[in-house]
Amino acid sequence: MKKISILLLAIATILASCSIVPDDSYQITGSGWEQYNGKEFQILVRDTSETGIKTIASSIIENGKISLQGNIDHPQTAFLGIYTKDNEFCGWKQDFIAEPGTFTFVLKEGEKKASIEGGKYNDILLKDIPAKKDIANANKNLTEFAEKYSSLKKEEQDEKAQRKYQELYSVYSKALQNGYVDLFKSHNDPYVRLLCISHLRGLKNVKEELANLEKEIGLVPEIANYYYSMKKAEEMAKNRKTVGVGSVVKDFTAKNLEGESFNLAKVLKQNKYVLVEFWASWCGPCRAEIPHMKDAYENFKDKDFEIVSFTLDHVQKSWKKASDKEQIPWINVGDLKAHSSPVVQMYGVQGIPANFLVNQEGEIVAVNLRGTQLDEKLEELLR
């Protein structure tokens, strides 16, 4: 009788211990992150908040190791990123699917991406598809040529080599796309089909597909985020139609890094032409334009020309660091709301860099002037 009681107690203990481990929990450990010691490893998902993203888990990297845990009700498209304690992006990002399970992230020396072990949906979408023979071969050919291309002297990186790279990229991109299309059409798990959507370009009847998935699994966060993004995209598309050449620019007020407010309408009254430029510290092409803009500013600032830069940064330290490094001499403002900024949405800005050249009456006379195009247009208008 005593043995039976002990056995029953042991079984009860096991069952109790099992019951406190929720089905929606995840645990993540990893190694090989020594170069980021002291930085914060974050898992971020898209949401319908003002910034459009939220951090669901984070861990300070110590001795090259990470350790995170948490809960998530439904699998979601996410990405892994490394940031400073002030939330400044450190230049490392990788796609991931946030889902229940046990994971290991290992960053090997010389590798740009971490190897991820664990997760049903991560295996299906981010491991099995890229490993398909035709996709893997196409990626191998592209990677090998890219390495060869980067080792060429500048004069050897001619149009023929560039065309070859584009051809190899097109083959890889098409193979990858076909892999996700096949998965989307054939898999019986609605979550697999839902998570496929972010990998599909030009998917027809997206709203209809989402509505069908909603009937199967309910209004889960991934579907809610798509609805929210589509609504915002429609609003921005409408706004873009109102900020073309010949239309009147939309007024706004924003603050610079010192907290001083600038009103666009007031700046327009003080100058014959104003360039309204949208940029961000993390945007390479934006920063590549700054030397050209500096030349134009130096040549025409004494002829009643001004520039108003509006940043899509959401971290002030990143904005300030880039502004100081680039030594931006013109009006430099923002609201730290990134793509969710009312100003960004009002102008229908989806991609950056983007700019609008405006005359004193507020009429847009040119858009998206790049490189010497800005100098040439100003020379035409202010000579």
> What predicted TM-score, i.e. pTM, was given to this entire model?
0.74
Residue ranges matching CATH 2.60.40 in the chain: 24-118
pLDDT band at residue 295 using 50, 70 and 90 as cut-offs: very high
DSSP 40-51: EEEEEEE-SSSS
pLDDT band at residue 51 using 50, 70 and 90 as cut-offs: low
3-state secondary structure 227-294: HHHHHHHHHHHHHHCCCCCCCECCCCEEEECCCCEEEHHHHHHCCCEEEEEEECCCCHHHHHHHHHHH
Contact in structure between 367 and 247 (CB atoms under 8 Å): no
Q: CATH number of the domain at 253-382, please?
A: 3.40.30.10
Among 8-17, 161-170, 352-361, the range of highest mean pLDDT: 352-361
More confident residue, 110 or 115: 115
Give the CA distances from residue 314 to residues 22, 52, 87, 181, in Å, rounded to whole numbers and listed in that order. Answer: 34, 11, 9, 34
User: What tokens does 137 get?
Assistant: 């071969």
Residue 6: the pLDDT is 47
Residue ranges matching CATH 3.40.30.10 in the chain: 253-382
Residue 339: the pLDDT is 84
What is d(CA 240, CA 234) in angstroms, rounded to the nearest whole number? 10
168-179 residue pLDDT tens: 999 999 999 999
More confident residue, 1 or 253: 253
Q: Topology of domain 24-118, per CATH?
A: Immunoglobulin-like (2.60.40)
Q: Mean per-residue pLDDT for 241-252?
A: 90
Q: Mean per-residue pLDDT for 137-144?
A: 94
215-225 residue pLDDT tens: 999 999 999 99
